[in-house]
Amino acid sequence: MAHYGYYGVQLFFVISGFVIAMTLFKCNSIAEFALRRFARLWPAMLLCSILTFVYLSSFNGIFATSVWNLVPSLTFIEPYVFNKFWGNIKFDWMDGAYWSLFVEVRFYAWISLTYFLSKNFERDFLLGCGLVYMSGFIITEPRLVFLFDMLFFTNHLFWFVLGDGFPDGPPYRDWE
């Protein structure tokens, strides 16, 4: 049974797609949505990152950690970005599981931009996701593939969309 644990992240993304859409539909602006997501995620991330840092540091070098690892974890930005700009400092996630929050934050950005800037959210979001997938088959130059994945998290986008309940539209808009 444990071999199915691999699918836990995908299930997390499906549930997240469902819950994020519910939050989004209750917000009146991108700023309100961003503030709500930040208020929900960042305090827990701060506490967990600090506790992880203290725990790992208490083993006198048995576990490798650095105070610099707090930066990607607390900004929800891939360590690669920091390593690219500050090559003399080695950044990594404070905990390896935090990579999924970078995927989450990118999903928040794309879904909220589509929702607040589109006149037909369901159509435009599905169309955008479809174009991302089709482009993923067309783009072959390695640097463009990397950039495309950094922007559109192509390996995980499907799971969020599945959670949104498309193509019939989110059934939970009227839950209140």
0.75 surpassed by pTM:
yes
How big is the CA angle at 81 (ends 24 and 101), to the nearest 5 degrees?
35
> CA-to-CA distance for 173 and 176, rounded, in angstroms?
8
Gyration radius from the chain CA atoms: 18
The average confidence (pLDDT) of the chain is 85
**pLDDT band at residue 156 using 50, 70 and 90 as cut-offs:** confident
- How far apart, in Å, are the Cα atoms of 57 and each of 52, 65, 66, 71? 8, 7, 8, 16
Per DSSP, 4 falls in state G
Structure tokens given for 148? 């495309």
| pLDDT tens digits, 62-82 | 777 888 999 999 999 999 989
**If you write DSSP's letter for every residue of 99-161 in order, what string do you get?**
HHHHHHHHHHHHHHHHHHH-SSHHHHHHHHHHHHHHHHHH---HHHHHHHHHHH-TTTHHHHH
- How far apart, in Å, are the Cα atoms of 2 and each of 8, 80, 100, 114, 140? 11, 31, 20, 37, 35
Report the pLDDT averaged over residues 15-43: 91
| pLDDT tens digits, 92-117 | 988 888 888 889 999 999 999 999 99
